[in-house]
Chain A
Amino acid sequence: MSNKIELLAPAKDLAKAKIAIMYGADAVYVGGKRFSLRSRASNFTTEDLKDLLAFAKAYHAKVYVTVNIVFHDEDIYGVREYLEELQDIGVDGIIVSSLGLMTLCRSIAPKLECHISTQLSSANSGAVETLASFGADRVVLAREASIYEIRDIKAKTKIPLEVFIHGGMCSNYSGRCVLSNRMTGRDANRGGCAHSCRWNYHLYDGGAMISDPGRLFSMSSKDLRASAYIEELVHLGIASLKIEGRMKSEYYVAQVVKTYRRMIDTVLENGHLTPEELDYYDQELMKAENREADDGFFSGSCDNTKHFYGVGSPSVTHDYVGFVRNYDPIRNLALIEVKNPFAAGEELELFGPVIDNYVFESPLLFDTDWKSIPRANKPSDFIYMRMPLPVRRGDMIRRAHRP
């Protein structure tokens, strides 16, 4: 089976984009310094983008840039030059929520693919066909579409479709929520979303409060995990499977990308995923998630079990403790950047783009002055440790979560 499908990963900065590609993403989407909905992400300078494009080329990966804020006129200044620059440096495409901007891009930077953002909440084949007729190259479907609807839309349209498979969910239709604007003055559609949907609210009927004081009303949605639908999405011929999370850590990106990479490859190779394989991959995804997740609208609807009321219980099963910065194969020594404290003698798990979960006991640890230390205490410190097998830059170390 050789159904080509793209695994598309988010990246907050250059380092995370490279991690995503190393761990198996076919493409990454990133924000520039302007015009991107994740204003709190580090975001990319032109030099960063050039660096990323060169890196991606070596892996035959693509780079898309989000130009997806809902523009006001004051934001448009400089966008022409920006689009021309993205085209000139070789970016593969942009993700837009503005049809006006798409039309502008078509005329001044025609080599850039225009992907319609999920901000447009395209949930039916009529909308998708209309967007294609307006000049879109790809449409990201609304996260509200069920697998049944995705199947129908795919059958009735020719344009490449992109589907979210993992990550945070807007509890409202994307782009149709300005709660943040009213509650905080921060424009949700221009990168300032304060996540007002995740706050607690009292509910009144007429003048009477009817909410439970111990369990207030909330719109907070659990995250999406569509692992159970990967097999069908691959068979349907969806062009791209998208992971949400431009604010997420390198560990999250690595673990989630690697897991979906292996799921997709298994389907492409065997035609299916067994229940045992699916269960294994779900456990792998839970090693990175810090919010509970479910299948969102894929199964058709979202009842109360798919919301958080009160404080959600963290579901992460593992802590990220170290990142391999360098490795000396002669001395079998790795330079590790500490991410969370860990101690010599603890049971750890090593994983990487080519290393599957290798469990080992943490050996002696050394600081950068070669003094033996019982414990790596400070995140961002560097230490040396002997590795149980050859590693390479970008491999990661984690430890089963201690409640």
Chain B
Amino acid sequence: MELLAGISKLDHLQRIQHSGIDGIVFGSFFSLKNAFPVDIFLKIAEFCDRAHLKKYVVLDSIVSEEEKGDLYNYFDLLLRLRVDGIYFHDLAVYDVARSFGRTDLLIYDGQTMMTNSLDIAFFLDQDIDVVLGRELTLEELIPMIAKNPGRLDMQIFGRYRLSYSKRNFLSNYFKEIGKDSDPKGKTSFTLREETRDYYLPVIENEYGTQIYTDFIFEMYREYPVLAPHLKRAIIDDAFVPASLFVKAIHDYRRITEENTEFLRESLYREFPNEGLSSGYFYEKGSTVKNVE
């Protein structure tokens, strides 16, 4: 199994370069949260080559018709950079990859849409790797992984995306209340529903607006059992403090069934206010369905 670090900040890369990570997940165009300006993106790619780190690129935006030409050119660039894999969401990426004869590079990250064995089998049958959905419980995950040993990817640390819109919610709101500043690209905004105490990171960029979980997902306890059966595991840094991100990488490198409780307690003790959580692992995400 490969342990990968999803990075959205350059200094995070510098801080983990000697951590023993197998590869980096990063992005530029068509990337919702791991996006770097293209010049920095190219430097990261060079850095990975020098450091013998694998390069995985994220293309997880929904592609509009007018962006298709740019997508083709960008894919061509990724091939020339000899990336090791491409996490994609929009089927336009599959279409472009097929035109280059390189669907072998693709890893489908359906996010909220990848929640069942039928869809996992569908993509695996196309020889496309798959990232498991984040809303799955552990009870649901275990048989999926058992059925496809060594073929599935999983985010094992970080925040999940709760929503993705083409609308510029922050800019629109600023305009509505007469606030004269540009919120695009800023990572300091959070939303709190007026009757609930969840603080949800929100970011607006050229692809629209995305909202992330109030919690930071960790699976220290479950990792030693699941990891040997995964193909790749991703630790993501979006809206995660650098020190926590770095600690998580170091911890996941050395978690065993014997030390997992010790490491987990240490993590929660050191970062008591970061909303660490086991996510939906033990929280069934549906109470309303199939009403008769």
Contacts of B65 in A (CB 8 A): 123-125, 145, 148-149, 152-153
Task: Tell me whether chain B's interface is mostly helix, strand or loop, or mixed.
Answer: mixed
CA distance A192 to B292 in the complex (A): 13
Question: Is A176 interfacial (CB 8 A cutoff)?
Answer: yes
The contact of A201 among B62, B161, B167, B194, by CB within 8 Å, is B194
A130:B177 contact, CB within 8 angstroms: no
Q: Is B286 a contact partner of A72 (Cβ separation < 8 A)?
A: yes
Task: Identify which of residues 170-209 in chain B touch chain A, using a CB-to-CB cut-off of 8 Å.
Answer: 170, 172-173, 175-177, 179, 186, 188-194, 196, 198-200, 202
Q: Specify which of B164, B169, B188 is in contact with A177 (CB 8 Å cutoff).
A: B164
Q: Is B49 an interface residue (CB 8 A)?
A: no
Q: Tell me the count of chain B residues lying within 8 A, CB to CB, of chain A.
A: 76
- Given the complex of chains A and B, what is the CA–CA distance between A185 and B285 in angstroms? 6
Given contacts A40-B291, A124-B92, A173-B62, contact A71 B193 (CB under 8 A): no
Interface string of B245-272 (1 = CB under 8 A from A): 0000000000000000000000000000
Please report which residues of chain B, range 108-144, place their CB below 8 angstroms from some CB of chain A when the two chains form the complex: 111-113, 115-123, 135-136, 140, 143-144
Contact A196 B113 (CB under 8 A): no
CB distance from A152 to the nearest CB of B (A): 5
Cα A178 to Cα B286 in complex, Å, equals: 11
A119, B140: Cβ atoms closer than 8 Å: no
Is B63 an interface residue, CB under 8 A from the partner? yes
- Least CB separation from A39: chain B residue: B291
Closest beta carbon of chain A to B190's beta carbon, Å: 5
Indicate whether B39 reaches chain A with its CB closer than 8 angstroms: no
B81 within 8 A of A: no
A304:B173 contact, CB within 8 angstroms? yes
Min CB distance B112 to A, Å, is 5
| A302 at interface by CB-CB < 8 Å | yes
Contact B64–A149 (Cβ < 8 Å): yes
Interface size class on chain A is 35 or more
Report the separation of the CA atoms of residues A71 and B175 in the bound assembly, to the nearest whole angstrom.
Answer: 39
Q: For residue B135, which residues in chain A have a CB less than 8 angstroms away from its CB? A: 178, 181, 187
Stretch from A55-63, A213-221, A247-255 forming part of the interface with B: A213-221
A14 at interface by CB-CB < 8 Å = no
B66 contacts partner chain A, Cβ-Cβ < 8 Å = yes
The 9 residue pairs across chains A and B that have the minimum distance between CB atoms: A100-B118, A192-B288, A126-B92, A126-B95, A187-B286, A304-B172, A127-B91, A149-B65, A100-B122
Cα A34 to Cα B290 in complex, Å, equals 5
- Residue A206 at the B interface, CB < 8 A? yes
- From B115, B167, B284, A171 is in contact (CB under 8 Å) with B167
Q: Is B287 an interface residue (CB 8 A)?
A: yes
**A73: contacting residue among B68, B92, B96, B143, CB under 8 A:** B143
User: What B residues does A178 contact at CB under 8 A?
Assistant: 112, 135, 162-163, 285
Please give, as numbers and ranges, the residues of chain A lying within 8 Å of B168 by CB-CB distance.
Answer: 302-303
18 contacts between A and B (CB under 8 A): A75-B116, A75-B289, A99-B123, A126-B91, A126-B93, A127-B90, A130-B95, A153-B65, A178-B135, A181-B285, A182-B214, A185-B285, A185-B287, A191-B289, A201-B191, A201-B192, A201-B193, A309-B176
Q: Residue B238 at the A interface, CB < 8 A?
A: no
User: Which residues on A sit within 8 Å (CB–CB) of B11?
Assistant: none
